[in-house]
């Protein structure tokens, strides 16, 4: 998931003002909880959604679906040089 997000981010930015922007991601471990017995565990990858205590499959995902933008930083673009004065036509 982080790899495909990074790949698409690069494609979306290419040729725009954001070309060269850096995407920093932080992964959140997926955790699940068994509804009948209350046990919670890290699902791992591929996700294990079966409770090891009661072998039940009535689990809910506690975390791991998050996709949030927490911060956006940018710096001002380099200032453009002053335009060269346009010579004014001389009045005859």
Which residue ranges make up the site for Zn ion (CB under 5 A)? 34, 37, 39, 51, 53-54, 56
Name the residue nearer to Zn ion (CB basis): 55 or 73: 55
Nearest distance in Å: CB 13, Zn ion: 45
Q: Is the distance from CB of 40 to CB of 52 less than 8 angstroms? A: no
Name the residue nearer to Zn ion (CB basis): 53 or 61: 53
Residue of 4, 48, 5 whose CA lies nearest to 30: 48
Nearest distance in Å: CB 42, Zn ion: 15
User: How many Å apart are CA 20 and CA 11, to the nearest integer?
Assistant: 10
């Amino acid at each position: 998931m982080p790899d495909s997000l990074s790949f698409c981010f690069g494609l979306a930015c290419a040729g725009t003002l954001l070309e060269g922007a850096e995407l920093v991601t932080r992964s959140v471990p997926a955790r699940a909880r068994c509804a009948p017995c209350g046990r919670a565990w890290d699902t791992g990858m591929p996700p294990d959604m079966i409770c090891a205590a009661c072998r039940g499959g009535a689990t809910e995902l506690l975390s791991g679906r998050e996709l949030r933008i927490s911060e956006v930083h940018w710096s001002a673009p380099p200032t453009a040089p002053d335009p060269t004065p346009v010579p004014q036509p001389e009045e005859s």
